[in-house]
Structure 1
Amino acid sequence: MALTQQFARVTPEYLERCRASALDSPGAAPGWNPPPDDLLDTDWATWGLIAYCRSTGVDRDLIALLDRAVSGDLGGDIGFLDHDEVYDGFDGSPRLLGPAAVTDIARRLDHIDLDAVLAHLPTATDDAAAACGFGRGFRGDVRSYLVEHFRAMREFYRGAARRGQCVVVWTD
């Protein structure tokens, strides 16, 4: 089973309802079921972008931003989401980014010139895949894959910031 990066946009009120459900239900089920339009799966793309940035010496602030966008913040008091109803439990439990953090991340993602970041990405698929830590066997255009998923993540954060939502991140 392949692991992928997952995101959910939720309101603080939704998280409180999930917390209450976890406290009141047998098995501590949080009643987690965000609408499909508020879920995003970026596959392995963002991890590959981060790996590429690290290997090419891109600005550390950019790497920290991307890492925070996919890893969330410590704390957040969402231990009730550490449940198989939310994720498979293979990797660390879900983490939270509150509305202020989401707004900051969205603003900073908007300032990334991805073409400049990927300017030296090799054009050969195997070389580009290796530069991103994907290894052999990657099919397709690595640059397009990275760009598509980065843009989706950036738009996802924009939407969450516009609506004052939190973002929950996890690996599944």
Structure 2
Amino acid sequence: MAGTQQLARVPAGDLAACRQSASASPDCDPHWDPLAYDMLDLDWAPELLVRVGEVAGLDELHLDALRLTSAGGTALDLGFLDTHPHTIAPFGPAPAALSASQVARVSELLGQIDMPALLAALPTDDREAGSLIGRGADQITDGPREYLLKHFNALRDFYLDAAKRHLLVVLWWD
């Protein structure tokens, strides 16, 4: 079972260089090493963020944007990142990606989501809100609202920066 959602902002050229390194290396090492600044650990928040959107009545366009942030959406060949012994997603599905144009669109849509309003639509009792969200949200120590708002803001800011810099986003579960 997958643990935490990982994201990396990368220039297309860096991804191409990794692909070439994996192809040229006898052990298929892609030399995948994104900068720490360009990485984001979303923990297990992505599924919960989508669920909040569903429960609060977020429209499908914006729900789809939230789904893309954890599922990817492009047909980029990332098999070189999923090759033993250098796989970056040993405990989850194969790595996926969003192209620069998809990143720009998702960033725009995330910027339109009023997460505080969605969270306010939940029951005021944290346990009740967590039970409604499901997927373990009722077990979050300080309640689901603070946790989800923090992770949504990080996600939105991460995509905004990637869009401004015309970067791809690679995502995987680890």
Question: Does TM-score exceed 0.5, indicating one fold?
Answer: yes
70-79 vs 31-40, greater mean Cα deviation: 70-79
* Alignment partner of 1:97 is 2:98: yes
Displacement of 1:93: 0.7
Deviation digits for residues 4-31 of structure 1 (CA, Å, limit 9, x no counterpart): 1110000001001100110011221111
- Say if 2:72 and 2:97, in contact at 8 Å, map to a contact too: yes
Deviation digits for residues 54-96 of structure 1 (CA, Å, limit 9, x no counterpart): 2344312221110011111141112111135352422211111
Deviation digits for residues 18-61 of structure 1 (CA, Å, limit 9, x no counterpart): 00110011221111110101000111122111122223443122
Going from structure 1 to structure 2, the CA distance change for 1:53 and 1:34 (only over 3 Å counts) comes to same
Going from structure 1 to structure 2, the CA distance change for 1:55 and 1:114 (only over 3 Å counts) comes to closer
Amino acid at match of 2:144: V
Whole-angstrom distance in 1 between the partners of 2:110 and 2:69 = 9
Task: Look up the match of 1:54.
Answer: 54
Task: Look up the match of 1:154.
Answer: 156
Task: Look up the match of 2:130.
Answer: 129
Task: Look up the match of 2:142.
Answer: 140
Amino acid at match of 1:114: M
**Which runs of 5 or more residues in structure 2 are unaligned?**
none
Amino acid at match of 1:164: H
Amino acid at match of 1:121: L
Q: What secondary structure is seen at the aligned counterpart in 2 of 1:27? A: coil
Amino acid at match of 2:152: F
Amino acid at match of 1:18: C
Percent sequence identity over aligned pairs:
38
Whole-angstrom distance in 2 between the partners of 1:127 and 1:11 = 43
- Say if 1:74 and 1:95, in contact at 8 Å, map to a contact too: yes
- Say if 1:4 and 1:171, in contact at 8 Å, map to a contact too: yes
Whole-angstrom distance in 2 between the partners of 1:153 and 1:130 = 23
Task: Look up the match of 1:21.
Answer: 21
Give TM-score, length-normalised by structure 1: 0.91
Going from structure 1 to structure 2, the CA distance change for 1:56 and 1:114 (only over 3 Å counts) comes to closer
- Say if 2:21 and 2:31, in contact at 8 Å, map to a contact too: yes
**Which runs of 5 or more residues in structure 1 are unaligned?**
none
Task: Look up the match of 2:166.
Answer: 164
Going from structure 1 to structure 2, the CA distance change for 1:137 and 1:110 (only over 3 Å counts) comes to closer
Give TM-score, length-normalised by structure 2: 0.90
Deviation digits for residues 97-124 of structure 1 (CA, Å, limit 9, x no counterpart): 1111111111111111112222222232
Task: Spell out structure 1 runs of 4+ moving beyond 4 A.
Answer: none
Q: What secondary structure is seen at the aligned counterpart in 2 of 1:22? A: helix
Alignment size in residue pairs? 172
* Alignment partner of 1:44 is 2:26: no
Alignment RMSD: 1.8
